[in-house]
Amino acid sequence: MPFNNSRRSWVPAGALLAWALSSGAHAAGEIMPVSRIEPEFPREAIIAGADKGRVKARMTVDATREVTRVEILDVTPRRLFERVVIKTLSRWKFAPGSDGRLMEIEIDFHR
């Protein structure tokens, strides 16, 4: 999984993921997922005839490594990708750290 010191890194997957390290990063300087699940192209989008989509989301991570909140910041097209993104990102685990860490992520879906 490639990371660099810039604010964004790209990772190939079923959906392309790009995440930005939070501007309020903790002492280690990064917030790193240690266990992640790749989002699948949603059935709702297939039924609606969509062949691509993009979601920008923000995760809040607590001190126990759990995602406590997933907030959808932007999505195109609307109402097709939000549910799968929230469900998938909620299952990610992170390296130990302080409570209230933030991570923004962009997910590009392609069929």
Identify which has the larger pLDDT, 4 or 23.
23
Q: Which of 102, 106, 26, 22 is nearest to 61 (CA)?
A: 102
Asked whether residue 29 is assigned to any structural domain, the reply reads: yes
DSSP three-state, residue 94: strand
71-111 pLDDT, tens digit per residue, is: 999 999 999 999 999 999 999 999 999 999 999 999 999 99
Question: What is the domain extent for residue 36?
Answer: 15-110
Tell me what percent of the residues of the chain surpass a pLDDT of 90. 71
Asked whether residue 91 is assigned to any structural domain, the reply reads: yes
DSSP-derived secondary structure for 51-78: -EEEEEEEEEE-TTSBEEEEEEEEEEST
**Domain of 100: which CATH number?**
3.30.2420.10
Asked whether residue 105 is assigned to any structural domain, the reply reads: yes
Identify which has the larger pLDDT, 58 or 3.
58
In this predicted structure, what is the pLDDT of residue 18?
57
| Model pTM above 0.85 | no
State the Cα–Cα distance between residues 3 and 43, nearest whole angstrom. 30
Q: Give me the mean pLDDT over the 53-70 stretch.
A: 97
Domain count, the chain: 1
